Structure 1
Amino acid sequence: MTQKSRPVLLRRRLLAVPAVLALALTAACSNSSSKDGGGASSAAALTGDCAKYQPYAGHAGTKVTMYASILSPESDSLEKSWAEFSSCTGIKISYEGSNDFESQLQVRVTGGNAPDFAIIPQPGLLAQMVKTGKVVKPPAGTVANEDKWSPVWKTYGSVNGTFYAAPMSANMKSLVWYSPKYFKQAGYEVPKTWADLMALSDKIAKAGGGKPWCGGIGSGTATGWPATDWLEEVVLGSYGGEVYDQWVGHQVKFSDPKITTAMQTVAGWMQNPAWVNGGIGDVKSIATTTFQDAGAPILTNKCWLLQQASFYRAQWAKGTKIAADGDIFAFHLPAVNPSVPNPVEGGGEFLAAFSDRPEVQAVQNYLSSSEWAGSRVKVSGGWVSANQGVDKSLYTDPIDKLSAEALTDPAATFRFDGSDLMPAAVGSGQEWKSLTAWFAEGQAIPKVAADIDAAWPQ
């Protein structure tokens, strides 16, 4: 996962199956299997707490490999989420995380050393892997599990209309962070519409003291990505999913009046010198402030609002109470155009397979299920699934719960992070560069748009 979609997860221990039971189960399970990765009809019966894994039994003593960009401590929680499954079925899942995942996955796959699974954070990278001819279509059990996701999620795990990779994690981008404590003291209410949000911003600015908005787009070699989120939020919230899709596919160009109008909306919001950058500096300081540091002034009442994703919860100082009545909380960013129903921008990860061995299919079926997603939620806070079959009561963190409700809302206009869908030369290249120049140097909107359009692959 890139920096713009990496949530930092807390760890909670999952009760493990006792070692004696695990050994007994491994011995009891046979290696027989079915084509769809089940094996239930020919495997020894699993009992007790392991009975629920019967559909995946029949492959004891096998091993599958998994490769991703997820590192410790998040990878520790990931491995705990399938620990009981592995003990009960006897399928060992050998996990490897790497900082060089995106580049090394291509090397491994084309070099004949592909892992059994890869957890892919960008639909664009999935499409690149499918072009190698090495990605295997998922078994019927995995396909059936996709009924628990809204249809648009399945499209992001598909390439040219063919489904390849089941969604795993999800994160909510359309949030605004604020301080309930300071809002209460000032008599402010959480705005329900874009017009109310802009009116509140103006009211805060005129009241003096802290400015209404703070922000930062610094992120090392990925500097600029938060600005792409601001533009994506405004495009989606102004015109809805159809125009958003056309824009991401470049049927609607950056220079199109719809997109330049959206950029003007962003400028009136996040480049308004009376509104930003509270507790940090002027508009240009947004380009030199890291996204991690951007929200800190909210805790000292020098800034009131920050637009950032659900994973930003990990950036608040230790001891900060994150709750509806706490030091920090968040609300859903309203639609610019009230006729757009509940716009939600998000990101996520997808599980792609490079093998169709029966044990690989069994793991693939399990990791696409509501049961695994529920197990992953229970292991640690800070992880959210858009799987509609997950029991919402399992979410103990209020931000996770807020995000899950939005991400699984069947009436929401959900769209994946636009720059992650665009070709890399644009989404993680020229767009980052040009939007950074827009904030740092005040480049004119027509030039910013033209430069990004010119970078689009022919």
Structure 2
Amino acid sequence: MRLTRHRRWAVPIVAAAAVGLTLTACTGDIANEEAGDVDCSDYEEYGTFDGAEVTVAGTILDLEADRLVESWSDFETCTGISVDYQGSSEFEAQIAVLAEGGNAPDVGIVPQPGLLKRLADGGWLIPASDPVVANIDEFWDPIWKEYATVDDTVWAAPLMASVKGWVWYSPDEFEEKGYEIPQTLDELKELSDTIAAEGDHKPWCVGLESGDATGWPGTDWIEDYMIRLHGADVYDQWVTHEIPFNDPQVAEAFDAVGEYLKSDDMVNGGIGDVSTLVTEAFQTAGLPILEGECSLHHQASFYETFWNPEGGDENTVASEGTVFGFLLPPANAGDPLSVTGGGEFPVAFRDAEEVEAFRTYLSSDLWANNRVSLGGVVSANKGLDPENASSELLVQAVEILQDPETTFRFDGSDLMPGAVGADSFWKGIVAWVGGESTEQVLDTVEASWPAS
């Protein structure tokens, strides 16, 4: 599941008001430089346009939205295309309604392959142009092209990416107490047991609250354990329903995660007991590490942004800094690196040269380096220089994504049908940490899987 955050201000638009969707606006004007200050030689291939505008919408908000707008500032200056971005936490729920009513933006930044497929099946999308597809073939691992392909048609290029399965921790605490980075899942459990036995605080801090999407951080735990315990092939069978959701292998992953999320000895450091998992916002759940009230927090690479919620730099993300992360280890030492992650896909709802010029830029190594240099995110674009990433951890994330030996799989719930991945699976996590058994929850989710 892709993160969403709420702004304090909003600019309603007429089309959105008709369906109850409030969007927050960011226009390129706030970031544009004077044309004389910009070297436009890198942008000549995109052409020039007189008075053209491209409207864009997505789930990206707040500081990330500001940086996104800045990433295409020079593109606007050099091409003459004005890009108007509007972000909303309701984008995923309402974009199909807007498309059906003819009110969709020119470009929608879609964070779920399942949602992309739904929009393609609805007949609302414009196929990716040849230059976009050429960039995909040049700059991305083939698995990313598969995620944006429906019925043999490629609909979009990837945009940003995240590597999930990071375990955030305090390097100072680990050094002071002599903790070692675990190399296997068993060693992670041993470390957690050690911290719990010391009695100073609970080892883990966890937050599953995310508005209508409450529960999704728990699905990330399950997905990370599925790929580590059973491998990519079984993971693929699970997300495509070649094995049922209540398969014993899925139960094994739930029970392994349950040793943490369903145990008052393990959670919820600095926050409360197990019941607080569903009321603590995922954005703030890791912050007790900074106060020494928990030691470990499971969250994706994008969580780097939240260590400095006011946009400052007092908390450094580094191996010798305030906070850092290690990847959730494999089941067995020496297992090949398998990770889960997420990303976005800019789909088009309007067939126009300026729209495809913009999408071609977003699919380029130029855009990837421009955006990543601004901080807080990474991309799986192979033309990205890892050193442009804003922290030691994000440099590692880029290298993981670019490594041909890495087995990467997209977030499982984002690949499943919406009735499961964006509904019963999330709700199942909430019921499960609330006391329902693994068997009950898996049977309920399995029963919700669409028949076709």
Does 1:383 find its partner at 2:373? no
What is the 5 A alignment of 1:172-191? Answer: 172-191=163-182
User: Residue 239 of structure 2 aligns with which residue?
Assistant: 248
> In the TM superposition, what whole-angstrom CA distance separates every residue of 1:338-372 from its partner, at most 9, and x where no partner exists?
56521211111101112332222222211100111
What is the 5 A alignment of 1:17-166? Answer: 17-19=33-35, 21=36, 49-146=39-136, 147-166=138-157
* Partner AA of 2:233 in structure 1: E
CA positional deviation for 1:317: 5.4
* Partner AA of 1:3 in structure 2: L
2: CA distance, partners of 1:407 / 1:5? 25
CA positional deviation for 1:145: 0.8
* Partner AA of 2:420 in structure 1: V
Q: Secondary structure at the residue paired with 2:66?
A: helix
Among residues 261, 264, 267, which one is paired with 2:252 in the alignment? 261
Q: Which moved more, 1:97-106 or 1:322-331?
A: 97-106
Normalization by structure 2: what TM-score? Answer: 0.87
User: Residue 453 of structure 1 aligns with which residue?
Assistant: 446
Contact 1:406–1:412 (CA<8 Å) still a contact in 2?
yes
2: CA distance, partners of 1:328 / 1:232? 24
Contact 1:5–1:311 (CA<8 Å) still a contact in 2?
no
Distance 1:281 1:357, change over 3 A: closer
CA positional deviation for 1:451: 0.5
User: Residue 37 of structure 1 aligns with which residue?
Assistant: none
Contact 1:238–1:340 (CA<8 Å) still a contact in 2?
no
Does 1:353 find its partner at 2:343? no
CA RMSD of aligned residues (A): 2.4
1: CA distance, partners of 2:43 / 2:282? 42
Greater radius of gyration (CA)? 1
Distance 1:306 1:360, change over 3 A: same
Structure number with greater CO (CA < 8 Å, separation at least 6) is 1
Contact 2:56–2:83 (CA<8 Å) still a contact in 1?
yes
- Using the aligned pairs only, state the percent identity: 45
User: Residue 277 of structure 1 aligns with which residue?
Assistant: 268
2: CA distance, partners of 1:417 / 1:432? 13
Contact 2:5–2:62 (CA<8 Å) still a contact in 1?
no
User: Residue 426 of structure 1 aligns with which residue?
Assistant: 420
Contact 2:183–2:333 (CA<8 Å) still a contact in 1?
no
Contact 2:168–2:298 (CA<8 Å) still a contact in 1?
yes
2: CA distance, partners of 1:331 / 1:206? 22
Contact 1:340–1:413 (CA<8 Å) still a contact in 2?
no
CA positional deviation for 1:136: 1.5
Among residues 183, 188, 198, which one is paired with 1:197 in the alignment? 188
What is the 5 A alignment of 1:286-301? Answer: 286-301=277-292
Normalization by structure 1: what TM-score? Answer: 0.86
Structure 2 gap segments, 5+ residues each: 7-28
Contact 1:240–1:413 (CA<8 Å) still a contact in 2?
no
Contact 2:378–2:397 (CA<8 Å) still a contact in 1?
yes
Contact 2:5–2:61 (CA<8 Å) still a contact in 1?
no
Structure 1 gap segments, 5+ residues each: 7-12, 23-47
User: Residue 3 of structure 1 aligns with which residue?
Assistant: 3
* Partner AA of 1:334 in structure 2: P
* Partner AA of 1:343 in structure 2: S
User: Residue 230 of structure 1 aligns with which residue?
Assistant: 221
Distance 1:15 1:298, change over 3 A: closer
Distance 1:14 1:179, change over 3 A: farther
Q: Which moved more, 1:179-188 or 1:84-93?
A: 84-93
User: Residue 363 of structure 1 aligns with which residue?
Assistant: 358
* Partner AA of 2:249 in structure 1: K
Distance 1:277 1:91, change over 3 A: closer
Contact 1:5–1:348 (CA<8 Å) still a contact in 2?
no
> In the TM superposition, what whole-angstrom CA distance separates every residue of 1:44-86 from its partner, at most 9, and x where no partner exists?
xxxx821222211143443322222333433222222111112
Distance 1:452 1:298, change over 3 A: same
Contact 2:53–2:83 (CA<8 Å) still a contact in 1?
yes
> In the TM superposition, what whole-angstrom CA distance separates every residue of 1:369-388 from its partner, at most 9, and x where no partner exists?
0111111122x211211111
2: CA distance, partners of 1:4 / 1:239? 30
